[in-house]
Amino acid sequence: MRARPLGRTSVRVSTLGFGAAPVGNLHGPIDADQARATLDAAWDVGVRYYDTAPHYGLGLSERRLGEALAHRPRTEFTVSTKVGRLLEPHPAPTGSDLTAGGFAVPDTLIRRPDYSRDGVLRSLEASLDRLRLDHVDIVYVHDPDDHLDTALDHALPALTALRDQGVIGAVGVGMNTVAPLLRVVEEADVDAVMVAGRWTLLDRTACPLLDACAGRGVAVVAAAPFNSGLLSRTCPASDATFDYGPAPEPVLRRARLLAEVSARHGTALPHAALRFPLRDPGVACVVAGFRTPEEIVSAARWTAADLTAETWRDLDAAAESGTAEWA
């Protein structure tokens, strides 16, 4: 699988990145054997970039990823994790994190937002322990929507200092909202932004962000290309999710139109969804989450094969046709 540079840094990422939230039991449990088989399948098809976070399964994702990579040559893979949420003992656990956090794990821990310099260092130290690594390559500030000033004033300077000391390779911010990321790109010294669900076949609202990043040499990592499920099937079902909730009817109709266009050109909707972000030269890679080996094998095949110019033309027309209806 092709490797690309992450902007101006020496860090390299595979065209397809492995989003490790599902192996942290996102929305439902998967056992350790299945998680390991999925991670091993990703390695076998050439995936060399793995993204995780303490938030994912209250540390379970990081632990499972660390176990899967423990016997791999460290120079051959890239890992990113995130800071901004410290994991601390839960004072009143209910038994499951599924309702509060979205992960099917015991809620013996609780997430506490902390975007201070000390919080960043504590979070990164704990992540390294769970990952069984002596360093990570990329660190993103995770979802600082309600803490943006603190992230700009404290978290990001702490990470840039670590980068300048050679402790980490690259600094970024990961969010699913465009306006705060634009501010980060304009005001901070970042190497990359991870934008989730806003530069997809269906939702292209990150276009101004991509333009801003291109002007400043900041790499874009396009995450959640399936918009949390809607674009992951050949024909979107009525109960499909969009941005982690039920897909509104106008959005569902538009996704089905994109599916019809894909089929007419002899391809599948998830193929188009995975390839779309990579059309922009500023996008270093696309990151998606997988629960089974079969899913990652299909994704690797689709990521490697571009669509024809005619297919993209018709998909673009279909994507634009319903923008005003649901934007």
CA 301 to chain CA centroid, nearest Å:
19
C-alpha to C-alpha distances, 245 to 34, 115, 189, 197, 241, nearest whole angstrom: 26, 27, 34, 13, 5
Q: Which amino acid is at 134?
A: D
| Active-site annotation, residues | 56
Residue 31, classified by CB atoms within 10 Å of its CB into exposed (0-12), middle (13-18) or buried (19+), is: exposed
Alpha-carbon distances, residue 229 vs 60, 80, 82, 139, 327 (angstroms): 22, 23, 23, 26, 19
C-alpha pair distances (Å), 183 with each of 45, 177, 250, 256, 261:
37, 11, 30, 34, 36
- Measuring CA to CA, how many Å separate 133 from each of 75, 130, 136? 12, 8, 7
Q: Strands, E, within 147-244: which ranges?
A: 170-175, 192-196, 219-223, 241-242
Return d(Cα 79, Cα 202) in angstroms, integer.
28
Between the alpha carbon of residue 251 and those of residues 148, 318, 324, the distances in Å are 30, 12, 11
Task: For residues 262 and 234, give the distance between their C-alpha atoms in angstroms, rounded to a whole number.
Answer: 9
Looking at the DSSP assignment, which residues form a beta bridge with residue 5? 12
Q: Which amino acid is at 314?
A: D
Rounded CA gap, 135 and 174, in Å? 19
Residue 30 CB-half CA count within 13 A: 23
Cα 68 → chain centroid? 19
- DSSP class of residue 227 equals G
